[in-house]
């Protein structure tokens, strides 16, 4: 029987460990498809506001319940941009990046399946979800559909000796001891895999909207804010068969892209001064009707205050734009909420089940020809990560991504 170098290494480790009375660290029985694993690798560490340093660290030995993943790409989230600009979470120094994906290059002996029970092996492509060590009530099929807002995530972990804690790196160390969750998504292309995390946010929001009983097949729907979040919302509604969606934004290029993803029409708020005129424009776009349901995706308190005016009596609203404290919004509870009997739901992150639904959405979107990959407008190598974050803050693209060679 032929023995490869990885097998020899594993045997040597086991022999040495037994001589020392210890336990050998796990080494994959198969070499990585991308080649041998280096001894060190790069990690982008945010060491000060608006500054990443590229640092080199020894790659750790993985344990029996761990994975070592070679990073292929990672999207830049608005959360990354907020941390880069102001450190609102107080994490500096920190290894960021949570919209990542890559290839398993080594895995512990106890790792057999992903968080959905799907078999995994070296060479498979994965994404991570949340870390649930401190909340065992969250499960794959939790009937209460508890979301994961209180969980941890790779890419927003406090600095520790592990170093490979975020996807803005050459490799990431997925540790079973932390309660990590991950999914085998080998059938999806790289762009789709980079978009999984933000798409899951919108899958969850749409599920929240459906829980009101107001969002129906023929509903008139307004989506306010056509950044990546709003645009993905429109794409999901399109795959569900919603054809009466109006996009609201102040950027004409984003509004045109919204139409490519399924919006039937658009309203540029820059062309309408005052809330009365803007409301009239939205109403005109729906043929003289107000919206049955609205998604507020901007994170702007003014936008939140405005959107009630776009909704008919008895309509519904899903607010999902405020992933950080964006300030207070002023509404008139009588006119905006009570007298109209608006059903309001908030949406925050996602559940594990939403992640699996997201995979199906991305397959469906591709099948009907939606240009999801065009959401990724800019790709930067790891050593240009500061430029990537500045591009994100400038809002001159849509989804910015770090893509490794």
pLDDT in tens, 80-132: 999 999 998 899 999 999 999 999 999 999 999 999 999 999 999 999 998 87
Estimate to the nearest angstrom the gap between the alpha carbon of 366 and the chain centroid: 18
What are the backbone dihedrals phi and psi of residue 259, each rounded to the nearest 5 degrees, phi first? -70, -35
The reply to whether 26 and 63 lie within a common domain is yes
Asked whether the beta carbons of 373 and 211 are under 8 A apart, the reply is no
Q: Are residues 396 and 254 in the same domain?
A: no
Residue 315 and residue 379 in one domain: no
Domain boundary among 346, 365, 383: 346
Could you tell me if 255 and 309 lie in one domain? yes
Assess if residue 4 is contained within a domain.
no
Provide the strand spans (E) within 91-244.
94-95, 99-107, 125-131, 152-153, 171-174, 180-184, 221-224
Listed residue (253, 207, 257) closest to 232, CA to CA: 257
Average pLDDT for the chain? 89
CATH code, 33? 3.90.180.10
Residues 215 and 168 in one domain: no
The reply to whether 22 falls in a domain is yes
Please give the residue range of the domain that contains residue 397: 15-191+375-403
- 362 within some domain: no
Contacting residues for 31 by C-beta, under 8 A, at least 6 apart: 4, 5, 6, 122
- Residue 312 maps to which CATH number? 3.40.50.720
Alpha-carbon gap, residue 271 to 277, rounded angstroms: 9
Does residue 56 lie in a domain region?
A: yes
The domain boundary, picked from 346, 366, 385, lies at: 346
In a domain, 369, yes or no: no
pLDDT given for residue 403 in this prediction: 98
Judgement on whether residues 97 and 138 belong to the same structural domain of the protein: yes
Same domain? For 19 and 113 the reply is: yes
Q: Quote the CA–CA distance of 17 and 356 in Å, as a whole number.
A: 40
pLDDT tens digits, 362-390: 999 999 999 999 999 999 999 999 999 99
C-alpha radius of gyration, the chain, whole number: 23
Q: Which of 298, 325, 346 lies at the terminal end of a domain, its last residue?
A: 346
In a domain, 89, yes or no: yes
From the list 360, 378, 361, 376, the residue with the least C-alpha distance to 228 is 376
Whether residues 177 and 300 share a domain: the answer is no
Is residue 292, in this structure, part of any structural domain at all?
yes
pLDDT (0 to 100) of residue 323: 78
pLDDT of residue 405: 80
Residue 363, in any domain of the structure = no
45 lies in the same domain as 183: yes
Lowest mean pLDDT among 17-21, 79-83, 128-132, 395-399: 17-21
- Tell whether 206 and 97 lie within a shared domain: no
Shared domain for 270 and 323, answered yes or no, is yes
Rounded to two decimals, the pTM is 0.88
Query: pLDDT digit string (tens) for 118-176?
Result: 999 999 999 999 887 666 666 665 645 566 666 789 999 998 888 999 999 999 999 99
The pair of three-digit structure tokens given for residue 325, joined into one six-digit string: 């404290």
Question: Which range has the worst mean pLDDT, 4-13, 59-68, 267-276?
Answer: 4-13
Judge if 317 and 379 occupy the same domain.
Answer: no
pLDDT at residue 146, rounded to an integer: 61
Q: What is the count of structural domains for the chain?
A: 2
**CA 300 to each of CA 82, 115, 321: distance values in angstroms, whole numbers, following the listed order:** 14, 35, 8
């Amino acid at each position: 029987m032929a023995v490869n170098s990885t097998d020899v290494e594993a045997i040597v480790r086991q022999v040495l460990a037994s001589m020392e009375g210890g336990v050998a660290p796990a080494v994959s029985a198969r070499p990585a498809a991308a080649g041998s694993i280096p001894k060190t690798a790069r990690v982008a560490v945010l060491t000060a506001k608006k500054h990443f340093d590229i640092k080199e660290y020894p790659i750790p030995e993985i344990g029996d319940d761990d994975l070592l993943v070679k990073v292929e790409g990672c999207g830049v989230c608005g959360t990354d941009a907020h941390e880069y600009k102001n450190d609102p979470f107080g994490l500096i120094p920190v290894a960021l990046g949570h919209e990542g994906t890559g290839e398993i290059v080594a895995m512990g002996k106890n790792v057999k399946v992903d968080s959905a029970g799907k078999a995994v092996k070296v060479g498979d492509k994965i994404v991570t979800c949340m870390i649930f060590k401190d909340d065992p009530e969250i499960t794959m099929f939790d009937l209460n559909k508890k979301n994961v807002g209180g969980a941890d995530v790779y890419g927003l972990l406090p600095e520790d000796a592990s170093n490979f804690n975020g996807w803005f790196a050459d490799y990431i160390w997925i540790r079973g001891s932390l309660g990590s969750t991950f999914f085998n998504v080998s059938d999806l292309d790289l762009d789709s895999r980079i978009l999984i995390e933000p798409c899951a946010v919108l899958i969850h929001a749409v599920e929240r909207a459906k829980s009101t009983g107001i969002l129906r097949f023929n509903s008139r729907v307004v989506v306010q804010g056509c950044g990546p979040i709003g645009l993905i919302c429109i794409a999901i509604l399109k795959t569900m068969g919603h054809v009466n969606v109006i996009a609201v934004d102040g950027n004409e290029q984003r509004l045109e892209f919204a139409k490519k993803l399924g919006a039937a029409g658009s309203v540029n708020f820059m062309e309408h001064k005052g809330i009365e005129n803007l409301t009239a424009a939205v109403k005109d776009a729906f043929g003289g009707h107000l919206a049955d349901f609205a998604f507020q995706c901007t994170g702007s308190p003014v936008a939140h205050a405005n959107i009630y005016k776009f909704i008919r009596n008895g309509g519904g609203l899903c607010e999902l734009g405020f992933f950080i404290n964006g300030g207070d919004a002023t509404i008139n509870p009588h006119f905006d909420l009570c007298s109209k009997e608006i059903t309001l739901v908030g949406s925050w992150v996602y559940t594990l089940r939403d992640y699996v639904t997201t995979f199906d959405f991305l397959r469906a979107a591709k099948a009907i020809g939606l240009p999801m990959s065009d959401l990724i407008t800019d790709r930067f190598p790891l050593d240009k990560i500061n430029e990537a974050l500045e591009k994100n803050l400038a809002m001159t693209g849509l989804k910015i991504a770090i893509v490794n060679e």
